[in-house]
Amino acid sequence: MTFLDFLHLLKEKYANRFIVLVLDNVRIHHAKMVRAFLDSEKGTTFHFIFLPPYSPQLNPIERLWKWLKDEVIANVLHRDQKDIAQSITRFEQHVLQHPDEVLRRIGCAA
């Protein structure tokens, strides 16, 4: 699924709603086809708020990627791609089983 497909899906699912998306500055968020789509939607549902460049501290997913790197990649010698994939799968399972830890690590815990 592309970002443009995602926008179409949001438009369909949340018709007649005002949709605010907080986005990082990855190229696809600024692509000509995305701008053309937004121009065709003038006065309708979408408003984009872009995070400042070079501000990973404002993007919670960056904390999850750091945790993954620290647990799976940093200072670990993997035998092969299969070994890396298995380590990532174990990490994913841990994340799914410990949502409170995930929230704490990304800064969303109460």
| Position 95, amino acid | V
Q: What share of the chain is helix, strand, coil (3-state, %, to 5)?
A: 60, 10, 30
Strand partners, 49: 22
User: CB-side exposure of 95: number of CA atoms within 13 Å?
Assistant: 18
**Domain chopping of the chain, boundaries:** 3-53, 59-105
- For 51-60, how does the pLDDT look when each residue is reduced to its tens digit (9 = 90+)? 888 787 777 8
- CA distances in angstroms from 3 to 23, 29, 58, 88, listed in the order given: 11, 7, 21, 25
Mean pLDDT, rounded, for 62-81 = 90
Q: Which of 32, 109, 4 is nearest to 63 (CA)?
A: 109
Model confidence at 88, pLDDT cuts 50, 70, 90, reads very high
Residues recorded for the chain: 110
- For 17-31, how does the pLDDT look when each residue is reduced to its tens digit (9 = 90+)? 889 999 988 889 989
- CA distances in angstroms from 40 to 44, 45, 46, 99, 103, listed in the order given: 9, 11, 11, 39, 37
pLDDT at 107: 80
Mean pLDDT, rounded, for 60-78 = 89
pLDDT at 43: 62
